[in-house]
Structure 1
């Protein structure tokens, strides 16, 4: 009888062990193998190898080299990610320092104060002839300014605030369009640089900075040509 009970008890222990063995999570490793674990495994296998059939350590050395390269690449990736984050944070701080500053930016919209001449710049990478600047508002063309010939580089242009009929225009937002003819007789647009104040900055998902000007226009930080107090 005792033997029967002993066997039953053993069977129960055996079944419990089998059930535990079926639980994969109980034996799952809690971390990936690193270099230290790999070297320990290699050393143990070499110590317990069959003397008549020694193992070839070449493949283990090759695996260890690949593991070292992988770990080095992972550390380098983490370093680059940290540097990128630091650069983005620095850009954000630089952008924040521009709030309230007056800037000259590549743009097409500017604020005009009645009775005061508005000034802006034209920028071109090649000489142009028959250069014309068109000032417009929400109602259409206000005035066309004949500039003539424009050499490579920047040129400052003044608008006296008068429309094509000689009437003084009120305060408000105005748009600029500039174009000229190149040496091949083709019409080319010209970049305009206008002055405004930075009201706010925004950080885009890619880390770049966008400035919102007093005119309401949004421009990239890279468009800033000049900063003043």
Structure 2
């Protein structure tokens, strides 16, 4: 009788592997998720084995089948919505990548200037102003002071040819802009400025919105961009 028993020792790796495979509940467990086909099969089995003297209520069949169909439809719709959201994010990423290297106009004081080119910016005031001044500065101080004609309320476009106060051409870099004028009461009033800067990088936020990192180092939301140019 003893000869019929296998030689079982801790060194018998073949036997231990077989025991591990036989006791692996995860691999042998059935699929616990019931689909619509499984539900219909179960429903058919119940009908075939019901007590003829106490038949099941057909209304409950319809109710259960409707609920299962609604669940299947909801799962399908969720999958479709997730796929659409993923596609929309991919489109946003491609759109954001196309902005890199472009010039955008945003509300601010710092702007990017390229040597030999004309930099454009806008002034915005809510009240009429006289004796309007625009001061352009760099890290070393004032570069250019410009006198602008009187302004009515609204926006006014201003061009800077890149020359300083002694008509020397300024190089590439980040410059700061300050504008002010005299209001109807005779006091000095600052003017909001809209400046242009190059987009260095684009980030996609978790909520799907985009944040632009400008050549000035400033980060701005995409919805604050006033204008985009090449």
TM (norm. structure 2) is: 0.63
Q: How far 1:120 sits from its partner (Å)?
A: 0.9
1:200–1:77: structure 2 CA closer, same or farther, 3 Å change rule?
Answer: same
| Cα offsets for 1:56-99 (capped at 9, x unmatched) | 12223212212211221221122111111111111111221222
Question: Which residue of structure 2 lines up, in the alignment, with residue 224 of structure 1?
Answer: 225
Gaps of 5+ in 2: 1-23, 182-188
Cα 1:205–1:55 shift into 2, 3 Å: same
Alpha carbons of 1:26 and 1:139: their partners in 2 closer, same or farther (altered >3 Å)? Answer: closer
Aligned equivalent of 1:88: 89
Partner residue in 2 for 1:4: none
Residue 128 of structure 1: aligned partner: 127
Query: Is contact 1:114-1:168 (8 Å) kept?
Result: no
Which residue does 1:108 correspond to in 2?
Answer: 109
Equivalent residues, number = 198
**Under a length normalisation based on structure 1, what TM-score does the superposition of the two structures give?**
0.63
Which residue matches 2:61?
A: 60
1:151 corresponds to 2:157: no
Corresponding residue number in structure 2 for 1:193: 194
Please list the CA deviations of residues 157-176 of structure 1 after superposition, one character each: whole Å capped at 9, or x if unmatched.
3568899xx78897653445
Q: CA deviation at 1:116?
A: 8.2
- Show structure 1 runs of 5+ residues with no match: 1-22, 181-187
Mapped partners of 2:58, 2:179: distance in 1: 74
